[in-house]
């Protein structure tokens, strides 16, 4: 197995490291902040991030420095930075580790980002279930404030950079940036229609940047070691740096693995994660969290970077790699994910609100042995009428498991429907095809 330099997880791999401020400082922490304040103008920090090629690690993969550059230059009112720590994507658990094991790395990155965009107030919007993470962050903020890294007159620079933790209420949709902003404002977490975009009309209607935990955690290293160093790692020029991949499912060693962007799926699964748990052949995997379409063993040599995964027909997304072995029912897998999306739909858009229920009921009926010959056409048409027709990308996400399993494993759907028809003809089933209640299995 090739050895790689760890960046984001380096400190927490040291025996006895607990993430306290003193330990973070001994490991070189807060030196990037000292290099910047009073020495590099805010626009210079943005330029460093642009040169590094850093792209968002939350799912969309948008260039971070470019995103910052969308904020109006001549605006004199308040601006805000929001850290999206609402990690609710099934199969994704990297941000939780980064917050719980090395919180000051995130805080330093947030102060650097706030300085670059001119925001005096920043919020960490953390998933409600992350109780431990919220407590650790609150303690770390107190440590940083006492040392002069957060608050008014940071390190004597005259810069104000306050950071506050805001716990969510357990809604997956609040991972979408505008729903997150609505929730922060005390409203129901529903996505906003765009435009206008958060860069001009964000939190409280003011210019706002929303960045993911992993994205912000990279900033101290980019500033400290230079954008050229970061840009040389991974799969330049468009997929630079390392990525923390969350590997779960039927593997021997599930967990978080920080590797350079551009390694292959085969290397991640069979070398880092130890291969298949029962030594059965790999049947399917999701490369970027539940929102990403399934891929097959034919894609094992696809590079894990933004462009290569997109070319293969999926997306790198949140970096949650879920692996499934031979013998797994792909219709069942699609249903399990569809049940999640159905439960988490905010209900704002009728294609998603009604369509997710219809898709779930249809999949349940097929698996229950009551499938109809028209069900596959129904599933296909429903997916077409949901994707691209909702306010946010939730609609596209929820149809991805169904569309990709129909693409690669359609025969499994057909076999279940054929068995149901044969069962009905033999007189052993009712053949009524009644839909199951949406709330029951």
Q: Are residues 280 and 318 in the same domain?
A: yes
Whether residue 363 lies inside any domain: the answer is yes
More confident residue, 170 or 108: 108
Q: Rounded distance, CA 357 to CA 364, Å? A: 11
Final residue before a domain boundary, out of 183, 212, 231: 231
At 428, the pLDDT band (50, 70, 90 cuts) reads low
Whether residue 433 lies inside any domain: the answer is no
* R_g (Cα) of the chain, nearest Å: 23
Whether residue 6 lies inside any domain: the answer is no
Q: Rounded distance, CA 32 to CA 100, Å? A: 21
Exposure string of 194-223, with b = 16+ CB inside 10 Å and e = fewer, is eeeebbebbbeebbbbbbbbbbbbbbbbbb
At 426, the pLDDT band (50, 70, 90 cuts) reads low
CATH number, position 75:
3.40.50.11540
Which residues, in sequence order, are CB contacts of 297 under 8 Å at separation 6+? 281, 282, 283
At 421, the pLDDT band (50, 70, 90 cuts) reads confident
pLDDT above 80: residue 167: yes
For the residues 154-171, what does the mean pLDDT come to? 96
For the residues 332-342, what does the mean pLDDT come to? 96
pLDDT above 60: residue 430: no
Burial tier of 250 (Cβ tally within 10 Å: 0-12, 13-18, 19+): buried
pLDDT digits (tens, 9 = 90+) for 185-208: 999 999 999 999 999 999 999 999
Are 80 and 118 contacting, i.e. CB atoms less than 8 angstroms apart? no
Q: Are residues 251 and 317 in the same domain?
A: yes
Are 109 and 57 contacting, i.e. CB atoms less than 8 angstroms apart? no
Which of 128, 134, 133, 141 is closest to 175 using CA atoms? 128
DSSP 8-state class, residue 81: E
Tell me, what's the pLDDT at 431?
Answer: 40
For the residues 277-299, what does the mean pLDDT come to? 96
Q: Rounded distance, CA 126 to CA 263, Å? A: 30
pLDDT above 60: residue 258: yes
pLDDT above 60: residue 285: yes
pLDDT digits (tens, 9 = 90+) for 63-99: 999 999 999 998 999 999 999 999 999 999 999 999 9
Whether residue 3 lies inside any domain: the answer is no
Q: Are residues 211 and 86 in the same domain?
A: yes
At 435, the pLDDT band (50, 70, 90 cuts) reads very low
CATH number, position 377:
1.20.1440.230
Tell me, what's the pLDDT at 67?
Answer: 97
Q: Are residues 180 and 301 in the same domain?
A: no
CATH number, position 273:
3.10.20.600
Q: Are residues 227 and 238 in the same domain?
A: no
Final residue before a domain boundary, out of 214, 231, 248: 231
pLDDT above 80: residue 209: yes
Tell me, what's the pLDDT at 420?
Answer: 80
Whether residue 243 lies inside any domain: the answer is yes
pLDDT digits (tens, 9 = 90+) for 109-121: 999 999 999 999 9
Tell me, what's the pLDDT at 436?
Answer: 36
Tell me, what's the pLDDT at 269?
Answer: 98
Q: Are residues 35 and 176 in the same domain?
A: yes
Whether residue 311 lies inside any domain: the answer is yes
Q: Rounded distance, CA 316 to CA 289, Å? A: 8
Final residue before a domain boundary, out of 325, 351, 385: 325
Instruction: State the residue range of the domain holding 245.
Output: 234-325
More confident residue, 103 or 420: 103
pLDDT above 70: residue 231: yes
Q: Are residues 188 and 316 in the same domain?
A: no
Whether residue 435 lies inside any domain: the answer is no
Q: Are residues 365 and 335 in the same domain?
A: yes
At 438, the pLDDT band (50, 70, 90 cuts) reads very low
Tell me, what's the pLDDT at 2?
Answer: 76
CB atoms within 10 A of CB 310: 13
Share of the chain above pLDDT 90, in %: 91
Q: Are residues 108 and 215 in the same domain?
A: yes
Total tally of structural domains belonging to the chain? 3
Q: In the chain, what are the helix, strand and coil shares in percent, each to the nearest 5?
A: 45, 15, 40
Q: Are residues 250 and 383 in the same domain?
A: no
For the residues 318-333, what does the mean pLDDT come to? 97
Whether residue 2 lies inside any domain: the answer is no
Q: Rounded distance, CA 346 to CA 330, Å? A: 26
Q: Are residues 299 and 310 in the same domain?
A: yes
Q: Are residues 218 and 266 in the same domain?
A: no
Looking at every residue in the chain, the average pLDDT score rounds to 93
């Amino acid at each position: 197995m090739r050895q790689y330099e760890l960046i984001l997880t380096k400190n927490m791999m040291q025996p006895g490291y607990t993430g306290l401020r003193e330990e973070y400082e001994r490991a070189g922490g807060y030196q990037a902040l000292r290099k910047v304040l009073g020495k590099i103008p805010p626009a210079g920090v943005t330029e460093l991030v642009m040169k590094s090629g850093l792209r968002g690690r939350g799912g969309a993969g948008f260039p971070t420095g470019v995103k910052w550059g969308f904020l109006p230059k001549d605006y004199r009112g308040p601006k805000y930075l929001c850290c999206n720590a609402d990690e609710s994507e099934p199969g994704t658990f990297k941000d939780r580790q980064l917050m719980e094991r090395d919180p000051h790395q995130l805080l330093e990155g947030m102060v650097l980002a706030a300085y670059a965009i001119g925001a005096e107030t920043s919020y960490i919007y953390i998933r409600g279930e992350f109780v431990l993470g919220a407590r650790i962050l609150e303690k770390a903020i107190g440590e940083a404030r006492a040392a002069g890294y957060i608050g008014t007159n940071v390190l004597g620079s005259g810069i104000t950079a306050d950071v506050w933790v805001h716990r969510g209420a357990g809604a997956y949709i609040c991972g979408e940036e505008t729903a997150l902003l609505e929730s922060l404002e005390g409203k129901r977490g529903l996505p906003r229609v765009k435009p206008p975009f958060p860069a001009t009309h964000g939190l409280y209607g003011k210019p706002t940047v929303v960045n993911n935990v992993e994205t912000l955690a990279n900033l101290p290293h980019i500033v400290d070691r230079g954008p050229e160093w970061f840009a040389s790692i991974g799969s330049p020029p468009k997929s630079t740096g390392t990525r923390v991949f969350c590997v779960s499912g039927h593997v021997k060693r599930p967990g978080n693995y920080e590797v350079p962007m551009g390694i292959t799926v085969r290397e991640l699964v069979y070398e880092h994660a130890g291969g298949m748990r029962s030594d059965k052949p790999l049947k399917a995997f999701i490369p970027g969290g539940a929102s990403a379409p399934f891929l097959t063993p034919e894609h094992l040599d696809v590079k894990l970077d933004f462009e290569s995964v997109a070319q293969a027909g999926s997306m790198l997304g949140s970096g949650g790699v879920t692996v499934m072995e031979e013998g797994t029912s792909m219709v069942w897998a699609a249903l399990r994910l569809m049940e999640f999306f159905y439960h988490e739909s905010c209900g704002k858009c009728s294609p998603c609100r009604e369509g997710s229920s219809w898709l779930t009921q249809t999949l349940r009926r097929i698996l229950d042995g009551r499938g109809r010959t028209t069900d596959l056409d129904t599933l296909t048409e429903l997916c077409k009428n949901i994707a691209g027709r909702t306010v946010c990308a939730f609609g596209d996400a929820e149809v991805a498991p169904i569309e990709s399993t129909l693409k690669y494993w359609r025969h499994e759907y057909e076999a279940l429907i054929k068995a149901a028809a044969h069962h009905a003809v033999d007189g052993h089933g009712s053949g009524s095809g009644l839909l199951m209640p949406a709330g029951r299995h």
